Amino acid sequence: MRADLTPRSLVGGALLVLVVVASLLTSPDAVLVHVEGLAADPLWFGLALVALYSLRPLVAWPTTLVAVVVGYGYGVALGVPIGLAGAVFTSMPPFFAAKWVDDGGSLPVLDQLSAVGRFRSSAERYFDTAGGFRGVTAARLAPIPADAVTCTASVSGVSLRTFVAGTLVGELPWTVAAVVVGSSANTLTTHGLGALGLPLAVAMVVSATVLLAGPAYETFAHSSE
């Protein structure tokens, strides 16, 4: 492990700062007002969705917010597959960016001297124990920021195919709920899942816990031998 900060590490740090600044300066409400005005035109609305999914990682908005927009414009039947495809598509930039930065040596000084290294080691143990597909699926089910899951899986060595499969399964209930909410909305807002959010989050946490129960038990059993 090198003890210097590589150019890729510096670029990664700059990207992180850019995301933080962009998320603070960008108003979802203002963007949604303009997108709502395009709902009557399928072509322009579709282009707006592509732009939203492309730029979403830059402003760190939740994927469910864009899925609500999908439901508003396309309804449930078309909205669910489009929302799932969008969830995968919007994960690609942070997935490959994290892998690119990590391949160049990701902040080794911080890895050694701070909680960053401990977090990374814990993340790698998590995916080693749970497995790539189960680990990504459970993390997607849990109410954890999407890009945190994406970057963690990427630097932990989860393959692209496994990551995509786990994202599709884990995002399915969130996407269905968000699309249904959007399809029944009279106007686009940033309230997202609204009253449905807390019960759904609790159910998804329980589901993720059940999914991880087997690997957790095996790990505990082996450690106690």
Question: Could you tell me what percent of the chain has a pLDDT over 90?
Answer: 38
Q: What is the pLDDT of residue 24?
A: 57
Please enumerate in sequence order all residues whose Cβ is within 8 A of that of 66, keeping only pairs 6 or more positions apart, or say none. 49, 52, 53, 56, 83, 86, 90
Mean pLDDT is lowest, of 6-20, 169-183, 201-215, for 6-20
Q: What is the pLDDT of residue 8?
A: 59
Does residue 160 have a pLDDT over 90? Answer: yes
Number of CB atoms found within 10 A of residue 123's CB: 19
Number of CB atoms found within 10 A of residue 200's CB: 18
Q: Quote the mean pLDDT of the chain.
A: 81
Contact in structure between 154 and 163 (CB atoms under 8 Å): yes
Q: What is the pLDDT of residue 40?
A: 85
- pLDDT tens across 183-194, in order? 887 777 666 666
Please enumerate in sequence order all residues whose Cβ is within 8 A of that of 151, keeping only pairs 6 or more positions apart, or say none. 94, 95, 97, 98
Split at pLDDT 50, 70, 90, the class of 132 is: very high
Structure tokens given for 100:
């690119």
Does residue 16 have a pLDDT over 70? Answer: no
Contacts 24+ apart (CB under 8 A), 192-200: 192/62, 192/64, 192/65, 192/68, 193/64, 193/68, 200/173, 200/174
Does residue 55 have a pLDDT over 70? Answer: yes
Task: Average the pLDDT over 205-214 and give the result.
Answer: 86
Instruction: Kindly list the domain boundaries of the chain, sorted by start residue.
Output: 7-223
Number of CB atoms found within 10 A of residue 99's CB: 17
Contact in structure between 215 and 102 (CB atoms under 8 Å): no
Taking the C-alpha atoms of residue 125 and residue 133, their distance in angstroms, rounded to an integer, is: 14
Does residue 99 have a pLDDT over 80? Answer: yes
Among 132-141, 176-185, 191-200, name the most confident range: 132-141
Which amino acid, one-letter code, is at 176?
V
Phi, psi dihedrals of residue 157, rounded to the nearest 5°: 90, 15
Mean pLDDT is lowest, of 13-22, 39-48, 62-71, 91-100, for 13-22
- pLDDT tens across 17-41, in order? 666 666 656 677 778 888 888 888 8
* DSSP string of 61-114, one letter each residue: --HHHHHHHHHHHHHHHHHHHHHHHHHHHHHHHHHHHHHHHHHT---HHHHHHS
Does residue 51 have a pLDDT over 70? Answer: yes
